Amino acid sequence: MSISADLLKTLVDNATDAKINCYAPYSNFRVGAAVLAEDDQIFVGANVENASYGLTMCAERVAIFNAVSHGAKNIRAVVVNTDVDKFKWCCGACCSVILEFGEDVQIYSSKSDGTTEVKGIRDLVPFAFCAADLREPKVEKKPIMFSQ
């Protein structure tokens, strides 16, 4: 499920441009993301911080929610871009959200010079729980009791 060099450059450019809209007054760590949907539509997102840190939304999830709110249901790739000169990868929460859309999604990390590295989502979270786990056969089917 590779993508062309031209499409990857477009995705990197979109992720880089998305950083302009970041709201990162606490960390000053800007992140932009671009999501490639199955039909080759591109959706972007920027990180949005909150004084209550747990409510901060990462760029990857913003881009995915943007894609879904526009009708996308399948994701081929996610591109992440930051202001540091190292390849940075999605956090655990973002990986869990990405896994919701398939175990073969490709994640590209891009640096400011345009270079990229790619990993499959399962390379980042090889043992994470996902939707497929809900379909596994159950060993016991005892009723769940919430109160006596």
Active-site residue set: 60
Tabulate helix, strand, coil % of the chain (nearest 5): 30, 20, 45
Write the CB contacts of 22 (distance below 8 Å, at least 6 apart in sequence): 30, 31, 32, 46, 47, 48, 59
Cβ–Cβ under 8 Å, residues 70 and 122: no
Give the DSSP letter of residue 142. P
Give the C-alpha separation, 81 to 79, whole Å: 7
